[in-house]
Structure 1
Amino acid sequence: MSYKALLTYALTGASTAALIASAGMASAQDYPQRPIEMVVTFGPGGGADLMGRQMGRLMEKPLGVSIPISNVAGASGNAGLTRLKTDAPDGYTIGTLISLTVASWASGLGDSSVDDFEVLAVVQNSPSFLFVPASSPYQTAEDLFAYAKENPGELTVATSGYGTQDDVTLKLLAKDGVQMENVPFQSPGERYASPIGGHTAVLYEEPGDVAQFLKAEQLKPLVVFSEERHPAFPDVPTSTELGYEISGLDNFRTVAVRAGTDPAIVEKLQSAVEESVASEEWQKFCAETYSCIEPVTGEDAQKMVQDFLQLITDQLAS
């Protein structure tokens, strides 16, 4: 190739690279120009679904585009995350990434890792409880655990899936002799109603997800898996008080994008999430679901997810 041809080739390549870079900058600057899809990783009616829908609706105002919801349930939330991490990292697909799914990675479910995603913000957090129907013969956690010890595997617990912290908690209880059977439900509504209908004896859940059943006095909380009592349920003992060192397995919920998304787009999305969380509508929503927290963003959010995964991994190995 002649010197002139080489020079022409080099200049053409440089121009092309400049055009590509310029197009990328313009794309980030003009983002968003069309609807953004919110992938909710669990079925309709559950806590992740309510959070995703509320957050999506509130984010529409600062972003200026609609945010339709797609429920992609299955595999303890991993099916939806597969969708999130295989769509283009262009900011037009965002999704829910919650602790139930992160816990499942420690149990070998799914093929995702924390590095596959960039967490925009952790927007909810709540400790989990064991609930029984109001008519249950077990009116205290001591009664429930005593029966489970004497009749291993007889009592059934409705959970959100295998590998989640629901499952991990039951495994930790079993190590202390409290053996109960995990019964996963893909449909949140069916899970919440299962003990009331007599299909299971116990429900593992966060209070916000079953608030309507608590207000109707159809469910009764017996124990909270925490080191401190819940301010909304001061009469409910903690697992620590009862001699079971099971805490730190709170159910947090985040909004995330695929790793590799343009930082300028990430910044716009994160700003929209923060504005949404600060709104009166969100504050009312999180208060009603016992899940209000100061949003955790950036590297702190990413570290929170990674630390939780390590905690679950260590608990399963102990």
Structure 2
Amino acid sequence: MPSRLLALAASVAAAWFLAPSASFADAYPSRPITFIVPWGPGGGADQVARMASKLMEPELKVSVPVVNMPGATGQTGHQKLLTSPSDGYTLEIMTADTFATLAQPNSRFKIEQFIPVAVLIQQRSGLFVNATGPIKTFEDITKGDKELRVAITGYNSPDDLSIKLLGKQGAKLQGIPFAEPGLRYASVIGGQSDIVYEQAGDVRSFLDGKQIKPILFFSDKPAAGFEDTPYSGKLGIDVKLSQFRMVVVRADTDPAIVKKLSEVLSKVAQSAEYKAYLAQQYAQPDSYVGSDQALPFIKGWLAEFTALMPKRQAAQ
């Protein structure tokens, strides 16, 4: 190759590598963005992702298809995110259940592997039973007459830890994992479980249909809409872990792209339609946490979760 062409090629290469990433971010997005839900269809994570997707599309001017990838307490979907290009075209709705795995000994994932873009929803968790079944109140499960089956998302999840700590109140509870949200919700009606650990908004159709009812919320104050239902703080039970769902991207994603996604999600959270969705889900009105405070939020939640873990497990 003539020296003049070599010099031209070198200058083009230099311009490519030295060009600011803003030029790429300015053109973003130019094609559909995949939104991973690491749980099955119909659950709380799926619902919030589909609502956010619907409201993001007009802002981003591209489609944001939701793809369900359940398995391993959300880790299957998280693995898909981390093996996808860090170009902003793959997002994930990560839940508190999956974040809890980060606190486990020898966790396969680390908090440094992703960037939290925004917390979209926060909800109080609770225990729900068949409305016409033998369990009428929380006191009924603390009598210790027999072991009761509790439908949970997975082992070593906030669900699992919470029910284990209830053993100190005299309850005999065995966690039964259900990866599919719909099966978990319905198990308490079909007899596959005696209790389901959930959030009221996720099982709203069952509540409205008078099929199930709450007997306890994990909170330091009464749950809105369920003021007559006992809550852990009042009973002296030191379990108040809330459920949350957050949008994340890979840690090496262009900061300009993260900023653009954060701005779009801020608009989503401020929309009347999304606020109505939060109310319908019995979620906290101030659920939204922007990217600037999302990481401290996660670390605070993980510290609370770790404090509730058995000392030997937390120390490993």
- Conserved 8 A contact 1:109-1:163: no
For 1:256 and 1:9, locate their aligned partners in 2 and report how far apart those are by CA, in whole Å. Answer: 42
Greater Cα shift, 11-20 or 257-266: 11-20
In the alignment, is residue 316 of structure 1 matched against residue 309 of structure 2?
yes
For 1:316 and 1:46, locate their aligned partners in 2 and report how far apart those are by CA, in whole Å. Answer: 26
For residue 51 of structure 1, the aligned residue among 48, 51, 56 is: 48
Greater Cα shift, 227-236 or 292-301: 292-301
For residue 31 of structure 1, the aligned residue among 28, 31, 35 is: 28
Distance apart, 1:11 and its partner CA = 9.4
Which amino acid in 2 is paired with 1:85? L
Where does residue 150 of structure 1 map in the other structure? 145
**What is the CA deviation profile of residues 18-54 of structure 1, one whole-angstrom value per residue up to 9, with x for unaligned ones?**
3223273321111111000000111000000001111
Q: How does 1:52-201 map to 2 (within 5 A)?
A: 52-108=49-105, 111-146=108-143, 149-151=144-146, 154-201=147-194
Where does residue 286 of structure 1 map in the other structure? 278
- Alpha-carbon RMSD across the aligned residues, in angstroms, is 2.0
Distance apart, 1:144 and its partner CA = 1.8
Greater Cα shift, 51-60 or 308-317: 308-317
For residue 270 of structure 1, the aligned residue among 242, 248, 262 is: 262
Which amino acid in 2 is paired with 1:150? D
Distance apart, 1:296 and its partner CA = 0.7
Greater Cα shift, 50-59 or 288-297: 288-297
TM-score (normalised: structure 1): 0.91
Distance 1:226 1:83, change over 3 A: same
For 2:8 and 2:30, locate their aligned partners in 1 and report how far apart those are by CA, in whole Å. Answer: 32
For 1:130 and 1:104, locate their aligned partners in 2 and report how far apart those are by CA, in whole Å. Answer: 22
For 2:83 and 2:300, locate their aligned partners in 1 and report how far apart those are by CA, in whole Å. Answer: 24
Where does residue 295 of structure 2 map in the other structure? 302
Distance apart, 1:61 and its partner CA = 0.6
- Unaligned runs of at least 5 residues, structure 2: 312-316
For 1:121 and 1:314, locate their aligned partners in 2 and report how far apart those are by CA, in whole Å. Answer: 24
TM-score (normalised: structure 2): 0.92
For 2:23 and 2:110, locate their aligned partners in 1 and report how far apart those are by CA, in whole Å. Answer: 31
- Conserved 8 A contact 2:119-2:290: yes
- Conserved 8 A contact 1:78-1:110: no
For 1:74 and 1:34, locate their aligned partners in 2 and report how far apart those are by CA, in whole Å. Answer: 28
Distance 1:238 1:204, change over 3 A: same
**Equivalences, count:** 307
Give the secondary-structure state (helix, strand or coil) at the position aligned to 2:97. Answer: helix
- Unaligned runs of at least 5 residues, structure 1: none
